Amino acid sequence: MSGYAAAYQRSLDDPEGFWLEAARAIDWTREPTCSLDGSNAPIYRWFPDGELNTSYNALDRHVEQGRGDQVAVLWDSPVTGSQRRITYAELLDQVARFAGGLSSLGVGHGDRVLIYMPMVPEAIVAMLACARIGAVHSVVFGGFAAKELAARIDDAQPTVVVAASCGIEPSRIVEYLPMVEEALRLSSHQPKHTVMLQREQHRVELGEGYVDWDVLVSQAEPAAPVSVTATDPLYILYTSGTTGRPKGVVRDTGGHAVALAWSMAAIYDIGPGDVWWTASDVGWVVGHSYIVYAPLIVGATTVMFEGKPVGTPDAGAFWRVIAEHRVKALFTAPTALRAIKRVDPDAAELSKYDISCLQTLFLAGERLDPETYEWAGAKLGVPVVDHWWQTETGWPIVANLRGLDPMPTKAGSASVPVPGWDVRILDPQGEPAPEGEDGSIAIKLPLPPGALPTLWGDDQRYIDSYLSRFDGYYLTGDAGFFDEDGYLRVMGRTDDVINVAGHRLSTGAIEGVLAAHPAVAECAVIGVHDELKGQLALGLVVLKAGVVIDPAVLRDELVAAVRRDIGPVAAFRDVTVVEALPKTRSGKILRGTMRAIADGRDEPVPATIEDTAVLDDIREVLRRPDRAAGIGSNN
Ligand code: COA
Ligand code: AMP
């Protein structure tokens, strides 16, 4: 049996033993004696009697082991023209002080802290400082607008908000203070304080209720790490679901630390002293797991990049960072490579840099199209490893395990189920789909450590959203099939979630904004193929009877409304006015059928359709030649 097969089998046959063994990579203040608590199934808890502190595991223990002078965070910010190298000893000091500052503002164990920050090292400091004192952080991506921020403030009810004065996009300074002020105006919950990091690119006047980061830290006593139970939440990360209301994915403390440490060795082949770069954002799960927690827990050097793959200053930014910092492995989203390929198809910029240090390119967050897979492999000359996972799971479900047992990579597939994940393909009745045929990708419970134990404050919503469709399984929301080599091919979402430039969005949330326009009678938002961003949201709107409006004016108003209410990250630009939307005879809009058409999938038209002519019209809109390449086809 191969190393992979043996590990996979053992993880399913003896999950308790497998994960207790993996737990040895973590320093516990109280060693766990058992791994899985299923007494409240289907809500499972890992390492229920273990106690630990994640910031201790990410910082103190490395300093104690003599690696205090090693660089922990290497910040490279072409948009500000700066770099910073922060050693483990320095990061520990900054985290302990900021943790002390948070305590002085009344933040304690279990309290929430909402973090709304760009890609600056202080975002990592704030996250680890929360972990240090047992507070629960909730990081919100900077591309979301005030209304989205307000929804998260109301759900998480933070004691403190931590923000920076600005983010920096290549074309503009993103002012955070007006966004925070607007969010606090919209939210019913009011935090006690807002801590503001002043960036020199845009300093702001702070009013009542605001605390300057530097002042707070200068007056703070360093805080020691507190021991928390393994099942205590480390963070809440909101993600888009089917409805407009975001889901607060909870991450526990112990299972998360164990799973991430295991993944760094087995999947990414990264250990102490290695330089690892995840080009994503701390506001996404990829950033939480693989910019912040995993590399620091294993004592690696994590590169934090504030910039874009192209235009900061050219299409060679990624290669420059790899060469300059001797990056061993890069993890990013395929869209970043598509952006580079579009500007520099021959990768001419590469010739300026020596990237011989790079051993592997990891890609995730959206489907990896075969062209990008081939291009990256040919240009970089390293294995291109697609892997598939989600905010909910926290770490990869399906991957090519470079540290445990490297396998051949193949275009169109993220390879094989990772130990711990019992991945099944189910038909609509919940029966195993015939071999080689596609169906819903589901995971047999219990999920391994590191996966979400529940949704914040709402066990029932967790059960209803993920565990009710198929008894005994977690529903991923993706469709796919296993090929003849046992490799999983992910075909796309089966729900109203879309993926725009690696950013996960809810079509339901965008529909909510369109529907609020006075001229709109009804609407549907469908993800359509886009060469660069993978998918883009297309708004199909039906006007109210008697309304006369210039479609260009309507489009501009709707685009502005989505940008105002959801944020620039929605990248919403495409609106088509249609006569009618396809519906069943009982009046249900056929979103699934429209999605299948947009994805290029052949899905039977429901027998209950009200008017097939309407569907034919919509088919033409969805399959305009420029949208012809179906995203669901993996070949
Ligand atoms: N704060 C404020 N605005 C932001 C933002 C942020 N943190 N991030 C993006 N935006 C804005 C952009 O400026 C852009 O605004 P515009 O409409 O005025 O041009 C808009 O949101 C859309 O951004 P995006 O679709 O991300 O395009 P981009 O050209 O800015 O960046 C990529 C392209 C490929 C670099 C970027 O999409 C990316 O890094 N994607 C990967 C996401 C990811 O890491 N996912 C996790 C899996 S690895
Ligand atoms: P997020 O929660 O933002 O990480 O988005 C998760 C979703 O992105 C998944 O459910 C998939 O639909 C999609 N996704 C992530 N990685 C991949 C991948 N490697 N291949 C195909 N789709 C992916």
Local confidence band at 244 (pLDDT 50, 70, 90 cut-offs):
confident
Q: Is 13 exposed, middle or buried (0-12, 13-18, 19+ CB in 10 A)?
A: exposed
Q: For the chain, what is the domain count?
A: 2
Domain that holds residue 596: 501-627
Q: Are residues 472 and 506 in the same domain?
A: no
- The torsion angle over the Cα atoms of residues 200, 202, 204 and 209, rounded to 10 degrees, is -80
pLDDT at 284 over 80: yes
Q: Band of the pLDDT at 624, cuts 50, 70, 90?
A: confident
Q: Which amino acid is at 191?
A: P
Give yes or no for residue 632 CB within 6 A of ligand 2: no
31 within some domain = yes
Question: Is cis: bond before 118, omega within 30 of 0?
Answer: no
Q: Is the pLDDT of residue 622 over 80?
A: yes
Nearest to 127 by CA among 297, 248, 278: 297
Q: Do 506 and 560 fall within a single domain?
A: yes
* Three-state DSSP class for residue 83: strand
CA of 297 to the centre of ligand 1 (A): 28
pLDDT range class, residue 601, cuts 50, 70, 90: confident
Q: What is this structure's pTM?
A: 0.96
Q: What are phi and psi of 323, to 5 degrees?
A: -70, -45
> Closest-lying ligand to the alpha carbon of 333?
1
Q: What is the distance in A from the centroid of ligand 1 to the CA of 569?
A: 6
Domain of residue 33, CATH code: 3.40.50.12780
220 and 126 share one domain? yes
Q: Identify whether residues 452 and 601 lie together within a single domain.
A: no
Query: Do 505 and 465 share a domain, yes or no?
Result: no
Residue 453 domain-assigned (yes or no)? yes
> Does the structure show a pLDDT above 70 at 633?
no
Q: Are residues 398 and 362 both part of a single domain?
A: yes
Residues 78-137 pLDDT 10s: 999 999 999 999 999 999 999 999 999 999 999 999 999 999 999 999 999 999 999 999
User: Residue 506 pLDDT more than 50?
Assistant: yes
For residue 635, pLDDT beyond 70: no
Look at residue 603 in the predicted model and tell me its pLDDT: 73
pLDDT band at 243 (very low <50, low <70, confident <90, very high): confident
Task: Please report, as a single letter, which amino acid is at residue 581.
Answer: L
Give the pLDDT confidence of 378-416 residue by residue, as tens digits.
Answer: 999 999 999 999 999 999 999 999 999 999 999 999 999
Of 451, 480, 509, the domain-final residue: 480
Closest to 232 (Cα-Cα) out of 210, 253, 258: 253
Q: Which amino acid is at 366?
A: E
- The answer to whether the CB of 286 is under 6 A from ligand 1 is yes
pLDDT digits (tens, 9 = 90+) for 100-110: 999 999 999 99
pLDDT of residue 626: 66
Beta pairing partners, 424: 442
Q: Where among 445, 480, 515 does a domain terminate?
A: 480
Q: How much is the pLDDT for 57?
A: 99
Interval between CA 45 and ligand 2 midpoint (Å): 25
Which residues, including other chains, have CB under 8 Å from residue 277's CB and lie 6 or more apart? 302, 303, 305, 321, 322, 325, 327, 329, 330, 331
Beta-sheet pairing, 503-506 with 520-530: unpaired
Asked if residue 505 and residue 451 are part of one domain, the reply reads no
pLDDT at 627: 61
Q: What confidence tens digit (pLDDT) does each residue in 193-221 have? A: 999 999 999 999 999 999 999 999 999 99
Q: What is the pLDDT of residue 242?
A: 72
Name the strand (E) or helix (H) holding 162: strand 160-164
Do 127 and 56 have their domain in common?
A: yes
Lowest mean pLDDT among 276-290, 423-437, 586-600: 586-600
Give Cα separations from 92 to 68, 89, 95 (angstroms): 9, 5, 5
Q: For residue 310, tell me if it sits in a domain.
A: no
- pLDDT bin (cut points 50, 70, 90) of residue 19 is very high
Q: What is the pLDDT of residue 625?
A: 67
Q: What CATH number is attached to the domain comprising 569?
A: 3.30.300.30
Residue 449 lies in a domain: yes
**Which residues lie below 8 Å from residue 153, measured CB to CB, with a gap of 6+?**
114, 161, 183, 184, 187, 189, 191
| Cβ 513 under 6 angstroms from ligand 1 | no
Closest Cα to atom 1 of ligand 2: 390
Q: Is residue 134 part of a domain?
A: yes
Of the chain, the percentage scoring pLDDT greater than 90 comes to 93
Q: How confident is the model over 466-477, as a mean pLDDT? A: 97
Instruction: Let me know whether 415 and 520 are in one domain.
Output: no
